Structure 1
Amino acid sequence: MTSLANICVVIPTYNAEKTIGAAVLSALAQPEVVEVIVVDDCSSDKSAESAEKAGAGDARLTVIRQQKNGGPAAARNAALQASRADFIALLDSDDVYAPQRFSKIVADEPFDMIADNIAFVPEDRILDDLFFSGLAESEADCSVISLENMIEGNISRPGEHRAELGFLKPIISRAFLEKHGLKYQSDLRLGEDFDLYLKMLAKGAVFLKCNNVGYVARVRADSLSGSHSGRDLEALYHSVRASRDNFEMSHSCQNQLDNYLSQLRQRFLLHRFLETKRENGLLAAALYSVRPLSRFLPISTAVLRDKLQPDRTEKAQEVPAIRYLYPV
């Protein structure tokens, strides 16, 4: 049976003064953690100071201050370079680990990545002992996430809920990353985790998914992941497209990835069209949609689909008391 030890927790942060302390404390509370590296991405608030205060002099905590804002992928790479631990664990600066998270993650087979379930809660939810005792409990049995599973989970299908396995926050083997020369695509500000998981799986990584709940994510209306631009989506498209062209994968995986890329291309073209309309007017947006002409069909299809969909504004603002990334 394989268990975890010698873990570095990587916490990129940008203007998270109010929540970074709780994230740091939840990481330092894990006995298996030997390093916690906070990378402050040129915050305009006191995120770095709040992280240091939470650490209260704990020698395991290191705070790196970036000289310029490079985004979450570049921040993660800075932490990877500074770390020496055997395993890398991911934690966003407004999220927390449940108590004994790592001690509950065990597997009957070797792995290169292993993750547990995520609980999503409203940002104002009090995360106390009562909350953690109320998290869903289940057997910690693990299953394998294949490359095809990862891709399929990010494809949208009408009337179906996406698995969104790219949201998982696994513990990653440093040895695997170094063996294959892998790191985060530094220019990505969206989907950087999914992009890395895709590359690792294409290189043969064993990715296990456990049923226990050990990661708690706060749902914020102004989160960085929810405010992406068309250029962010386009950068993700080109990075995934490069993986499609440069990594060996089965014909089935290639077909699934082509489907995902088609959806991603439509999304970034629609975003760019709407951004152009907002910034430069309808005529400029119309010209963008036909230069080249290959843009017209995906943009017009996306616009028509949005027009025909019922207004979900109120429903989108409703955040359930708690939901899980996958069924418990």
Structure 2
Amino acid sequence: MNEPLVSVIMPAYNAAAYISEAIASVQNQTYKNWELFVIDDFSTDETCSIVENIIKPEPGIHLLKNLKNEGTGAARNKGITASKGDFIAFLDADDLWLPEKLEVQMKFMKENQLAMCFSSYHLISENGAYFSKGILALPKLSYKKLLKANYVGNLTGMYDVSKTGKIYSPLLRKRQDWALWLSVLKKVKFGKGIQQPLACYRIRKNGISTNKWALIKYNYRVYNRFLDFGILKSSGYMVLFLWEHFVVKRKQKKKLDQ
């Protein structure tokens, strides 16, 4: 019996410095039945030529090109539309998977009969150095909990298309990954987290994770524009978010085994 096919969705914009390493982390997976869609969002650097050179001996990797810069959500959606996998997973062009990521995750989903799961992950610097602490996944995650703050590291999230159908990102410029997982959990009620770290998230200068004011602004837009909460309800959830993100979520930062 063939293993289920996993479609890996990788949006890329001016990612020449990191994309070879990101793609290699997919190629090095111990679970071999995957396809990778790299969606170039109108890069102005060497991203496309790097991917084209990798594709030549690698038939499982596909390059899709946007004719203008459309944003990460639209890029992911193009990959999701083209995908043929039984499961969909995500990896940004500057992040990394550990070699056993897909194998561990697929086994976990099968054993627990899950429609969605995610995992712990390491934090690394721009040059790839590990930080002393990573992010420990919650053992179980509900839609209600996810409404308060994003607890899914997008580079670790995976969903079962047969149970959810294809779930797409809203066309928000930021926080569209959180919105996607809200859509998944609204449909399947809960997901489970693997405690083992299976990926490495690269913290970049000027990224949204380092810009707290931008984080607050874009979170409000998820509540107000994507979820269609009114001003009062959106403001109420922002209070919950601030507490959850800056107080409760701090407990997730732990020293993880490497």
Shifted more, 41-50 versus 99-108: the winner is 99-108
Trace 1:256-275 onto structure 2 (pairs within 5 A).
259-261=236-238
Q: Distance in 1 between matches of 2:91 and 2:57?
A: 20
- 1:93 deviates by 0.6
User: Helix, strand or coil for the counterpart of 1:63?
Assistant: strand
The aligned residue for residue 270 of structure 1 is none
1:154-211: CA deviations, max 9, x gaps?
A: 2xxxxxxxxx414343111222342xx741112x111111111112212234411010
2:240 matches 1:237: no
Q: Which runs of 5+ in 2 are unaligned?
A: 243-251
1:12-52: CA deviations, max 9, x gaps?
A: 00011010111111112223342100000001111111123
- 1:5 deviates by 3.8
Q: Distance in 2 between matches of 1:64 and 1:225?
A: 27
Structure 1 residues 142 and 198: alpha-carbon distance in aligned structure 2, compared to 1, 3 A threshold: closer
2:114 matches 1:111: yes
Q: TM-score, structure 2 length as denominator?
A: 0.78
Residues 223, 237 of structure 2: 8 Å contact kept = no
When Rg is computed on C-alpha atoms for both structures, the one with the higher figure is: 1
| Pairs aligned (count) | 236
- 1:148 deviates by 2.2
Structure 1 residues 258 and 241: alpha-carbon distance in aligned structure 2, compared to 1, 3 A threshold: farther
Q: Distance in 2 between matches of 1:144 and 1:235?
A: 26
Identity of aligned residues (%): 21
Trace 1:185-196 onto structure 2 (pairs within 5 A).
185-186=170-171, 188-196=172-180
**What is the one-letter code of the residue matched to 1:144?**
K
Displaced runs of 4+ in structure 1, greater than 3 A?
222-235, 261-265, 324-328
Trace 1:2-17 onto structure 2 (pairs within 5 A).
5-17=4-16
Structure 1 residues 135 and 59: alpha-carbon distance in aligned structure 2, compared to 1, 3 A threshold: farther
Q: Distance in 2 between matches of 1:264 and 1:211?
A: 23
The RMSD of aligned alpha carbons is: 3.4
Structure 1 residues 91 and 327: alpha-carbon distance in aligned structure 2, compared to 1, 3 A threshold: same
Q: TM-score, structure 1 length as denominator?
A: 0.62
Residues 104, 212 of structure 1: 8 Å contact kept = no
- 1:226 deviates by 5.2
User: Helix, strand or coil for the counterpart of 2:180?
Assistant: helix
2:139 matches 1:143: yes
The aligned residue for residue 218 of structure 1 is 202
Q: Which runs of 5+ in 1 are unaligned?
A: 155-163, 246-254, 266-323
Structure 1 residues 43 and 231: alpha-carbon distance in aligned structure 2, compared to 1, 3 A threshold: farther
2:168 matches 1:183: yes
